[in-house]
Amino acid sequence: MKLEMYRKDELESGVHITFTNGSGRSCTTYLTNPSDSIDHVHMEYLQERLPNVVRREQVEFIKRRYAEEIGRFQQPAPAPAF
């Protein structure tokens, strides 16, 4: 299994997510406003976004990899003005 997160353009605020399952089938979705965590999402939601998700093991993998990767896409807080 593999999860890739990327932006096609530096000006994009959203994130593209491509999940490839163990059979090699890939699906991609776009999150316009990605949250810090997806721990709260249900399997049905992920299946709507990524139809190749069919097992609970895949859901847990996606949640774990998302948590590892999302920090690369978060905007840094603006520095305080002095």
Residue ranges of alpha helices (H) inside 1-82 are 43-49, 56-69
CB 31, CB 14: distance < 8 Å: yes
pLDDT score, position 81: 62
Across the strands, what pairs with 61? none
Q: pTM, whole model, 2 decimals?
A: 0.85
Where in the chain are the domains? 2-73
In terms of Cβ atoms closer than 10 Å to its own Cβ (0-12, 13-18, 19+), residue 59 is buried
19/22 Cα distance (integer angstroms)? 10
Q: Is the pLDDT of residue 76 over 80?
A: no
* Each residue's pLDDT tens digit, 28-71: 999 998 999 999 999 999 999 999 999 999 999 999 999 999 99
